[in-house]
Amino acid sequence: MQSIRLAWPAVAGALLAAASIGATAQTSGPIKIGLMLPYSGTYAALGTAIENGFKLYVQEQGGKLGGREVQYFKVDDESEPAKATDNVNKLIKRDNVDVLVGTVHSGVALAMAKAAKDNNTLLVIPNAGADAITGPMCGPNIVRSSFSNWQPGYAMGVVAGQKGVKRAMTITWAYAAGAESTKGFTEGLEKGGGKVIKDLTLPFPNVEFQALLTEIAAQKPDAVYAFFAGGGAVKFVKDYAAAGLNKTIPLYGPGFLTDGTLEAQGASAQNMLTTLHYADNLDTAKNNAFRKAYAIAYKSQPDVYAVQGYDAAQILANGLKAVGGDLSKRDQLSAAMRKTAVDSPRGKFTLSAAGNPVQDMYLREVKGNNNEFRSVAVKALADPARGCKL
């Protein structure tokens, strides 16, 4: 009995100490940020650009967000949906991060969103456009600094319709992003009186395009819409030009087809038209300062992924400022992340109730190593957020 009586105060003391460590972690000490991004595979360069952009913003704030130091934890998700749940749990359960930032690939991001909901962890998505995440899966703890797959696709469909395209074909990888991007394109094109005569797909991340290019040549559509990104986009644009198709059938796409890829694509991408929420030469004080700072920090030019990483940090900072860095004020923090306009290199944008950017979609043209602004294809485009109930 004696030993039990002695043991209880010790246990209670230990529990109290543990609880107060938990409470302190909410209000002081470093904020633990879990970066789950692709650092290998076809999207590797995209992951690096996102991390660079995120860290650039944090550095500009003196290394702090909401007055708190930042501690990073990193996982290479390999753009591999089958490993996504294990990978995200390393950050949530092993590293006990306060905030998840990721990822690029929609299939991986869907697993992250599920885990974030199940564990009530904050999630900021710096790329993956899976429509469902700000649709049926939307939640107060999830926001996106990028786009929904529907957005740039829809804008390109509208532009193609205005250009008189009547018969188009689409080509993409068979996964959520490709399917949703081409669906958005089809919707925009049909508004302008055109239609998609055939959707071509191949498994992610395959790059054996030859048989599909032969089929395009045989069908002779008025235009082709392609969703590819990273290494796959480099190869596709080069193969399309090598087959001579770019001389007779315009190749359109969401801007991912030519973003961060132009040095490698060279002549094959020149004069291509794409739609996206960013253009390299936007002549604003914010974009000029961002591009200069990025080039100095990383000895390379930023792209849309770097912008999205930068803005993911800004969105998080907006929330943390509103609560003075106190993570225990979760509802207030989540609400402030959504309510504050973001002063982005792409131009100022707001977040919808579902947590997705409401933003201008630009028509861009490739000139040299830049995606140059041509016009606003669709102003303040909001994702329809079909199925989102908050």
Contacting residues toward ligand PHB, per CB under 6 A? 104-106, 127-130, 149, 177, 229, 256
Q: Least CB distance from residue 249 to ligand PHB, whole Å?
A: 23
Q: Least CB distance from residue 32 to ligand PHB, whole Å?
A: 25
Q: CA-CA distance, 141 to 120, in Å (whole number)? A: 7
Cβ-based nearer residue to ligand PHB, 126 or 347? 126
Cβ-based nearer residue to ligand PHB, 303 or 360? 303
Q: Least CB distance from residue 200 to ligand PHB, whole Å?
A: 18
Q: CA-CA distance, 77 to 108, in Å (whole number)? A: 8
Cβ-based nearer residue to ligand PHB, 221 or 384? 384
Cβ-based nearer residue to ligand PHB, 236 or 256? 256
Interhelix angle 44-60/285-298, rounded to 10 degrees, is: 110
Q: Least CB distance from residue 211 to ligand PHB, whole Å?
A: 23
Which DSSP string corresponds to 24-66? HHHHSSPEEEEEEE--SSTTHHHHHHHHHHHHHHHHHTTTEET
Q: CA-CA distance, 98 to 91, in Å (whole number)? A: 9
Q: Least CB distance from residue 104 to ligand PHB, whole Å?
A: 5
Query: Could you tell me the CA-to-CA distances from 284 to 290, 343, 348, 364 in Å, in that order?
Result: 10, 11, 11, 16
C-alpha closest to that of 390 among 331, 349, 318: 331
Cβ-based nearer residue to ligand PHB, 148 or 318? 148
Cβ-based nearer residue to ligand PHB, 70 or 278? 278
Q: Least CB distance from residue 108 to ligand PHB, whole Å?
A: 8
Residue type, 70: V
Sheet holding 99-101: strands in order across?
A: 64-65, 68-76, 31-37, 99-101, 122-125, 142-144
